[in-house]
Amino acid sequence: MLSQQTIDIIKSTVPVLEVHGTEITSRFYHLLFTNHPELKNVFNQTNQRKGRQPEALANAVYAAAVNIEKLESIIPVVIQIGHKHRSLGVKPEHYPIVGQFLLQAIKDVVNPPEEVIAAWAEAYGVIADAFISVEADMYNKAEEQEGGWKDTRKFKVIKKEKESSVITSFYLQPVDGGKIASYKAGQYISITASIPGEQYTHMRQYSLSDAPGNDYYRISVKKESGTDTTPGGMVSNYLHEQVSVGSELTISAPAGDFTLDESSTKPLVLLSGGVGITPLLSMLNTVINKGIKREVYFFHGALNSETHAFNGYIQDVVKEHSNVKSFIAYSNPTSSDLQSKNYDKEGFITLEDLQNVLSSNVADFYFCGPTPFMKSMYKALGEWKVDPSSIHYEIFGPAESLAE
């Protein structure tokens, strides 16, 4: 329990964090990797270069400071981050290291009085204990469930299937021949990639793109080719170009809190952009496989039919199940698309589209995709006055605000 003096001091630092938060966390990561380069095996270095990870950590530290009197209010965030930490293999021994360099970064950037550093040291200890406790429970549950395991396990690729011009699916089974852990629709696994020529391993999280209940895991990965100014995705390119049937991959047990509420009877609205279709496809298949009686509306935005993965499959589902409907928007349709009119709209999915297809805003909304798509959907649902408890989304990568 924090003392009132500590709480008062932490609250007084909120304006400083608002101004210098990202500078502090950028300095923190520099110190961390300089002194512990082995942790580059855990942290996504692409997100470091893009500044996404420092910004996400700054937001988390700011949220902790703002809610220091009622830390229980950030438990949902602790759980969400805890899932990612467990899938990445973050352990209790990492927290003192993080604390040491976070405090040093605060000193280096704003040089506060010693009592401020002491207060943050005390607060960090309490917050770290919360993470450690939550993650210990997650590790135990991951290991104790049937077919489960605690850290990582070797899987082999039994099938590799091209789903579009940019997305390929990988079907994975354990090398040891044992059972696999079940999961909830919407969850992900982490892959630890040892890429030839790279000094450190690279860990990436990929949504499971099929319903649970099979003897395999399926991930569907977009190849991030990059541009003249931005590098391509190191792991996605490795998977597409160097991993084939028979290759072995090291993965974590399924994790994540972006999961389908199977008990709800409200209409289910799935909104996806690009490769964001993957966790939502798992949700769709779960509803179909379990015979859950509810209306399902699957909205998807893509460049065109060439990049649109799983379209044929979803259209077959729509034909076979009267409770499932789809809406497709292509922002850059091909000449063939323009001739065949195999989509519902040219452009992007908007609030008007949702209102034209759905009878009301009383539904469960799940959405995932590129950040601009996510922000657009979040804004549209807000404008439509959708109940916030009915809005669920997954951001690929470090957490960021969708509010504009």
User: Which residue ranges are tagged as binding site for NADP(+)?
Assistant: 274-279
Structure tokens at 245: 């049937």
Measured distance CA(99)–CA(105) in Å, rounded: 10
What is the DSSP track for 253-283?
Answer: PPB-S----TT--S-EEEEEEGGGHHHHHHH
- Could you tell me which of 95, 86, 201 has the C-alpha nearest to residue 135? 86
- Is 95 designated active site? yes
Q: Which of 29, 55, 95, 393 is catalytic?
A: 95
Element (H, E) at 123: helix 114-144
Structure tokens at 33: 């990797």
Binding-site residues for FAD, please? Answer: 188, 204-207
- Could you tell me which of 193, 231, 214, 236 has the C-alpha nearest to residue 88? 193
- Could you tell me which of 136, 178, 137, 135 has the C-alpha nearest to residue 154? 178
- Could you tell me which of 357, 383, 210 has the C-alpha nearest to residue 298? 357
Measured distance CA(259)–CA(216) in Å, rounded: 19
Structure tokens at 386: 């959708």
- Is 171 designated active site? no
**DSSP bridge pairs for 297:** 269, 325
* CB environment 238-260: b (16+ within 10 A), e (fewer): bbbeebeeeeebbbbbbbbbbbb
Assess contact for 153 and 248: CB atoms under 8 A: no
Give me Rg for the CA atoms of the chain: 22
Q: Which of 55, 135, 163, 394 is catalytic?
A: 135
List the catalytic residues.
95, 135
